[in-house]
């Protein structure tokens, strides 16, 4: 059983590393958004409740999300574990998860400084028609600002503008970074506590991957 929580700011590389872990351990990556959509599509009791709340423009409560997590991780594809992606986001959610006896085996933090995140995300450029993504430093188009295939102009998405990224990072530090301390304290609680490991996300993708897989096998 390998139930994992990934922590780190937007753009730290959590999604990329989650794919590696998912493949290595044959466990699904579960995001709250995907989980909500699946429950609504299935028409489960919890899905119907979530749909009513969302249709009314409300926010789905932590209690309902926790129950959805419990329902989701009881499914056969989670028999070997799962990766929780984007949940918990706050201390109350993390506490609710613990109170609901959802055991977590490993918490992995990928740490990247804000300025590096801004550099990574604000450098992205996209071809709107195909979704092709370039990066001004790491994967530039042959002609600056022009798609290699069509010769059409590339755009910078609103999400990738520095002001938007700084806002998202501020929200992360305000809400989610407190989880680092929460789970570091949890890791000291004894045999049933989750392991906690922190990795430098400014390293190469393969280096981070090898260090994470090594820690999980630890």
Residues taking part in catalysis: 14, 89, 124, 157, 168
The pair of three-digit structure tokens given for residue 182, joined into one six-digit string: 């929460």
Strands 81-85 and 195-200 come out as: unpaired
DSSP 8-state secondary structure symbol assigned to residue 146 = B
Picking from 65, 81, 89, 74, the residue whose alpha carbon sits closest to that of residue 4 is 81
- Give strand pairing partners of 146: 143, 153
Rounded Cα gap, residues 79 and 217, in angstroms: 18
> For the chain, what is the radius of gyration of the CA atoms?
19
Picking from 104, 28, 23, 15, the residue whose alpha carbon sits closest to that of residue 66 is 104
Long-range contacts of 31-38 (CB under 8 A, 24+ apart): 31/85, 31/86, 31/87, 32/65, 32/68, 32/86, 32/87, 33/86, 35/68, 35/69, 35/72, 36/60, 36/68, 38/72
DSSP 89-127: -SHHHHHHHHHTT----EEEEEE--HHHHHHHHHTEEE-
């Amino acid at each position: 059983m390998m139930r994992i929580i990934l922590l780190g700011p937007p753009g730290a590389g959590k999604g990329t590393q989650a794919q590696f872990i998912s493949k290595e351990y044959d466990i699904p990556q579960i995001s709250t958004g995907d989980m909500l959509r699946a429950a609504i599509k299935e028409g489960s009791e919890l899905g119907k409740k979530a749909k009513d709340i969302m249709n009314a423009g409300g926010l789905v409560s932590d209690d309902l999300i926790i129950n959805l997590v419990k329902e989701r991780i009881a499914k056969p594809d989670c028999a070997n574990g799962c990766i929780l992606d984007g949940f918990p986001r706050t201390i109350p959610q993390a506490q609710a998860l613990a109170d609901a006896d959802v055991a977590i085996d490993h918490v992995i933090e990928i740490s990247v400084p804000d300025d590096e995140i801004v550099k990574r995300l604000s450098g992205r450029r996209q071809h709107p028609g195909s979704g092709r993504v370039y990066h001004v430093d790491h994967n530039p188009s042959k002609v600056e600002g022009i798609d290699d295939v069509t010769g059409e102009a590339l755009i910078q998405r609103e999400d990738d503008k520095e002001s938007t990224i700084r806002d998202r990072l501020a929200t992360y530090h305000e809400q989610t970074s407190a989880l680092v301390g929460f789970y570091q304290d949890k890791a000291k609680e004894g045999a049933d506590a989750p392991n906690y490991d922190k990795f430098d996300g400014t390293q190469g993708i393969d280096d981070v991957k090898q260090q994470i897989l090594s820690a999980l096998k630890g």
